[in-house]
Amino acid sequence: MNTRVVLRYAGLAAILLYCLAPFYWMLVSAFRRPSDQFSLSPIPDPVSVTNFTAVFGVDVGFGRALINSVVVAGIATVLTLLIGLSAAYALARLRFRFKNAVAAMIIATSMFPGISLVVPLLKLFTDINWINTYQSMILPSMSFALPLAVWNLNAFFRQMPGELEEAAMIDGCTRLQAFRKIILPLAAPGVFTTAIITFITAWNEFIIALSMVNDKNMQTATVAISRFTGAYGFNQPFGTQMAAGVVVTVPLVILVLVFQRRIIAGLTAGGVK
């Protein structure tokens, strides 16, 4: 094995270690006893599930927060796909003036930092009595996910030949039927990939959920973790926060590992004509 190959694998190993080390330490800390939470041992000894029991305690309300996160991320994903599919197909197939400008504006909206939108959204949602509601978290999440969804799906629709719809319409299909029966099934890898990315984006959203919700029963999992308190109300609950982080992260990791082939196919299929 030559030096270049060795250096390549060493670089990959270093990157992998850099990416996985924080997650490994979170996992190890989650299984420590509360009395051992400041230990520097790379392996918990003894292994304890006390932190996980505390996370799902009656007074914490973390189970309710997980349900809220599923509701917000799930609805945001469905609505983003419905709107994103229509917008992406229109950009890919229709010809109209300022088409490139519209596409550029859609991408430009994703560059605004979330913190810059908090104050105007807070004022708007206060005026229409949307504070402490699901829609106050879903709509802002969609505003961040839609540009990515439109851009990703647009790449799939553009690489599909227009003759597919023409042949379907010659056989008696309308434009909508051709899209639903022909184009949409062929774009399934892109749709699936976009759904996964959108769900993860909405699931991890923090600043909007923190600002728009002050009711404990409506907060999402990310906000609930940030508001954990210690046994005496003033000490830092590292163990329970680490355990909650594992609970929030592991489902996403499993989801990506199970569907990694579809995700990779979805990310690459739209790039080659």
Give 47-98 pLDDT, tens digit per residue.
Answer: 888 888 888 875 768 889 999 999 999 999 999 999 999 999 888 888 888 8
Domain assignment of residue 171, given as a range: 61-227
Could you tell me if residue 233 is inside a domain? no
| Residue 13, domain member (yes or no) | no
Domain-located, residue 113: yes
Q: Would you say residue 18 lies in a domain?
A: no
Q: Write the burial class of residue 266 (CB in 10 Å: 0-12 exposed, 13-18 middle, 19+ buried).
A: buried
CA separation for the pair 90, 119 (Å, rounded) = 33
pLDDT tens per residue across span 211-230: 999 898 999 999 998 888 75
d(CA 55, CA 243): 7
pLDDT for 269 equals 58
Own/partner contacts of 237-241, CB < 8 Å, gap of 24 or more, are 238/29, 238/37, 238/38, 239/29, 239/30, 239/32, 239/33, 239/34, 239/37, 239/50, 239/51, 239/54, 240/51, 240/54, 240/55, 240/60
Q: Is residue 247 a part of any domain in this protein?
A: no
State the total domains in the chain: 1
- Asked if residue 9 is part of any domain, the answer here is no
Other beta carbons within 10 Å of 150: 28
Residue 249 domain flag: no
End-to-end CA distance of the chain: 36
User: Does the residue 173 lie in any domain?
Assistant: yes
Q: How far apart are CA 27 and CA 239, in angstroms?
A: 10
* Nearest in space to 72 (alpha carbons), one of 220, 253, 225: 220
pLDDT band at 232 (very low <50, low <70, confident <90, very high): very low
| pLDDT over threshold 70, residue 13 | yes
CATH of the domain at 82: 1.10.3720.10
Residue 201: closest CA among 140, 247, 254 = 140
In 3D space, the residue among 175, 149, 152 whose CA is nearest the CA of residue 162 turns out to be: 175
